[in-house]
Amino acid sequence: KQEVTQIPAALSVPEGENLVLNCSFTDSAIYNLQWFRQDPGKGLTSLLLIQSSQREQTSGRLNASLDKSSGRSTLYIAASQPGDSATYLCAVTPQGAQKLVFGQGTRLTINP
């Protein structure tokens, strides 16, 4: 059974810092890995999608890496801003299934 873990559960950093969020999954048999952002009381916004054959994806100040063999992904946020404050969710699509398995999320606070 696929399980996804995100560490840390919460993170608070001053504005301008670069930071890394971690995601690990127990079964390397995945189609893809997706990072989402969720603001309080809101829906999920897709940030980056990495296919199993890819090593990383970049969008603006965000960079996500995938090491399928070790079951790990990182989301790197450069030059953090208060507007980046949100919960960041990692999810994988297991092979043989058409659904997402989510981690518990990392609640990020960027202090001005």
Residue 43 or 60 with smaller CB distance to other proteins: 43
Q: Site for other proteins (CB under 8 A): which residue of 36, 84, 86, 108?
A: 36
Q: Is 55 among the residues that bind other proteins (CB under 8 A)? A: no
Q: Which are the contacts of 105, defined by CB distance < 8 A and separation ≥ 6?
A: 6, 9, 38, 87, 88, 89, 90
Interface mask toward other proteins for 12-31; x: CB under 8 A: -------------------x
Which residue in 33, 105, 36, 102 sits closest to 71, CA to CA? 33
Between CA 42 and CA 19 the distance in angstroms is 23
Q: Site for other proteins (CB under 8 A): which residue of 41, 60, 83, 112?
A: 41
Q: How far is the CB of 20 from other proteins (least distance, A)?
A: 20
Contact 88/34 with Cβ under 8 angstroms?
Answer: no
Q: Site for other proteins (CB under 8 A): which residue of 66, 75, 86, 101?
A: 101
